[in-house]
């Protein structure tokens, strides 16, 4: 039976339907009902706790909140629904973060705890997170690294035992997490934990929001003028609802910063990605963390810009191989960006790939990015 639905969530959903940004979908409404159970729990518990002036508690709540694991295909609307839930849940200590960024923070904090000689670093770090967080919303739970696989089970168990509510989206059901991963048998207890302690909800929809999101849209803006800036701003707002925050990726002990990121969509300038001292490992990490890149202000490259041109070639090759959707603004058409200098002949392949990547159909067979409703 579908859970009771929040007037706030339904009201917001209907506003988006009425404005034409969404289409009415019973599968999404069912998922909203599941999320509303958690919203009601958190808000009720929050009010009760505030009434106990001066009370000290080891946990946020005397009872466990119903954490939610929301999974479904790319483009089904998972992240959009989680954003709606997060915005409408009226509690103070809440956080929405990309799972990759969160795990990078956890690894940094574990390193600090070990340097201090903490007896149980994982418990110490989990306690620190739980002390200031009632609600954690993760976008795109993916386990691809053996280190994370060994850590995440105990970390989540400690957080949830401390009364932290967790909402996470994923393209996979719990049983397929870390599928075919190294030493996966050691990860199976975490899958059992999720299935036992989370409301696992499969978002089923008859609509495919991937197919038409950018159909008919310009995705390569040239020249670099106000129309190009306005075009990128419009697409960015359409794909992210105007949200965005920096995403820090740790690559070989260094921080690589994407200035703006939300729901798998990143935004950066040519200077930030191709004039900085980045290399193949950095671009691979970026491609692994995003689904769409909005790349601004690609210049015409002079013969002296050999290093910048080389980095741009590596970036485009990496995005191309990973089937990352690219939306960009440039000073000239692809074939005119680098015509004279060392590597100009080889750049012709990059120009060809840039042109190919503008096709609305280009990434679809490889799970086109979730875009606005991932």
What is the reported pLDDT for 211? Answer: 41
Residue 301: name the closest of 268, 271, 256, 266 by CA: 271
H or E, element range at 165: strand 165-170
pLDDT band at 363 (very low <50, low <70, confident <90, very high): low
What is the reported pLDDT for 146? Answer: 81
Tens of pLDDT, residue by residue over 70-113, are: 998 766 778 788 888 998 899 989 998 878 778 888 998 999 99
Tens of pLDDT, residue by residue over 256-311, are: 999 999 878 999 999 999 999 999 989 989 998 888 999 999 999 998 888 999 99
Q: In the CATH hierarchy, which fold is given to the domain comprising 220-373?
A: Rossmann fold (3.40.50)
Give the CATH number of domain 7-202.
Answer: 3.40.50.300
Instruction: Kindly provide the b/e burial profile for residues 125-145, where b requires at least 16 CB atoms within 10 angstroms of the residue's own CB.
Output: bbeebbeebbbbbbbbbbbeb
Question: Cα(154)–Cα(148) distance, rounded to whole angstroms?
Answer: 11
| Position with higher pLDDT, 370 vs 41 | 41
pLDDT band at 67 (very low <50, low <70, confident <90, very high): very high
User: Does 215 score more than 70 pLDDT?
Assistant: no
Question: Cα(131)–Cα(110) distance, rounded to whole angstroms?
Answer: 16
The answer to whether 295 and 319 have CB atoms below 8 angstroms apart is: no
In percent, the amount of the chain with pLDDT more than 90 equals 40
The answer to whether 141 and 99 have CB atoms below 8 angstroms apart is: yes
Angle at 11 between CA 5 and CA 15, to 5 degrees: 140
What is the reported pLDDT for 52? Answer: 42
- Return the sign of the alpha-carbon dihedral for residues 160, 95, 73, 287: negative
pLDDT band at 321 (very low <50, low <70, confident <90, very high): confident
Domain ranges in the chain are 7-202, 220-373
The verdict on pTM exceeding 0.75 is no
Structure tokens at 306: 């050999």
What is the reported pLDDT for 2? Answer: 45
User: Does 144 score more than 80 pLDDT?
Assistant: no
Distance of CA 190 to the CA centre of its chain: 22
For the chain, the average pLDDT equals 83
| Position with higher pLDDT, 252 vs 49 | 252
Question: Cα(185)–Cα(325) distance, rounded to whole angstroms?
Answer: 34
What is the reported pLDDT for 30? Answer: 86
Question: Cα(87)–Cα(94) distance, rounded to whole angstroms?
Answer: 10
Among 161-165, 169-173, 238-242, 315-319, which stretch is predicted with the lowest mean pLDDT? Answer: 238-242
Question: Cα(74)–Cα(121) distance, rounded to whole angstroms?
Answer: 36
Pairing of strands 165-170, 135-139: parallel
What is the reported pLDDT for 207? Answer: 58
Question: Mean of the pLDDT values across residues 202-231?
Answer: 77
Query: Residue length, the chain?
Result: 374
The answer to whether 82 and 35 have CB atoms below 8 angstroms apart is: yes
**Same fold across 7-202 and 220-373:** yes
User: Does 60 score more than 90 pLDDT?
Assistant: no
Residues 6+ apart with CB under 8 A from 330: 220, 221, 222, 223, 224, 297, 298, 299, 337
Residue 244: name the closest of 266, 265, 222, 260 by CA: 260
In the block, residue with structure tokens 């009902």: 33
Structure tokens at 258: 């994407």
CA atoms within 13 A on the CB side of 355: 12
């Amino acid at each position: 039976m579908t859970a009771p639905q929040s007037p706030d969530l339904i009201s917001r959903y209907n506003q988006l339907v009425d404005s034409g940004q969404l289409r009415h979908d019973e599968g999404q409404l069912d998922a909203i009902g599941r999320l509303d159970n958690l919203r009601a729990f958190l808000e009720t518990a929050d009010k009760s706790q505030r009434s106990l002036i001066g009370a000290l508690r080891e946990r946020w709540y005397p009872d466990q909140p119903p954490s939610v694991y929301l999974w479904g295909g790319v483009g089904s609307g998972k992240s959009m629904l989680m954003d709606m839930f997060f915005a409408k849940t009226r509690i103070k200590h809440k956080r929405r973060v990309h799972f990759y960024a969160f795990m990078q923070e956890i690894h940094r904090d574990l390193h600090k705890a070990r340097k201090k000689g903490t007896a149980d670093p994982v418990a110490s770090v989990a306690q620190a997170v739980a002390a200031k967080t009632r609600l954690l919303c993760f976008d795109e739970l993916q386990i691809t690294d053996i280190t994370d696989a060994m850590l995440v089970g105990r970390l989540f168990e400690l957080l949830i035992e401390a009364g932290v509510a967790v909402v996470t989206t994923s393209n996979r059901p719990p049983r397929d997490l870390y599928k075919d991963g190294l030493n996966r048998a050691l990860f199976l207890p975490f899958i059992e934990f999720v299935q036992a302690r989370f409301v696992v909800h499969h978002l089923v929809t008859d609509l495919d929001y991937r197919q038409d999101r950018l159909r008919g849209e310009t995705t390569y803006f040239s020249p670099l003028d106000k129309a190009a800036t306005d075009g990128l701003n419009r697409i960015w707002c359409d794909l992210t609802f105007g949200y965005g925050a920096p995403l820090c990726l740790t690559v070989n002990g260094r921080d690589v910063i994407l200035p703006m990121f939300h729901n798998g969509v990143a935004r950066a300038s040519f200077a930030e990605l191709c004039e900085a001292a980045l290399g193949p490992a950095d671009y691979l990490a970026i491609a692994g963390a995003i689904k769409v890149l909005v790349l601004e202000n690609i210049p015409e490259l002079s013969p002296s810009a050999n290093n910048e041109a080389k980095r741009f070639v590596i970036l485009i090759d990496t995005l191309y191989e990973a089937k990352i959707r690219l939306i960009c603004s440039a000073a000239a058409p692809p074939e005119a960006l680098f015509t004279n200098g060392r590597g100009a002949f080889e750049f012709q392949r990059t120009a060809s790939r840039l042109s190919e990547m503008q096709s609305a159909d280009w990434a679809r067979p490889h799970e086109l990015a979730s875009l606005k409703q991932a």
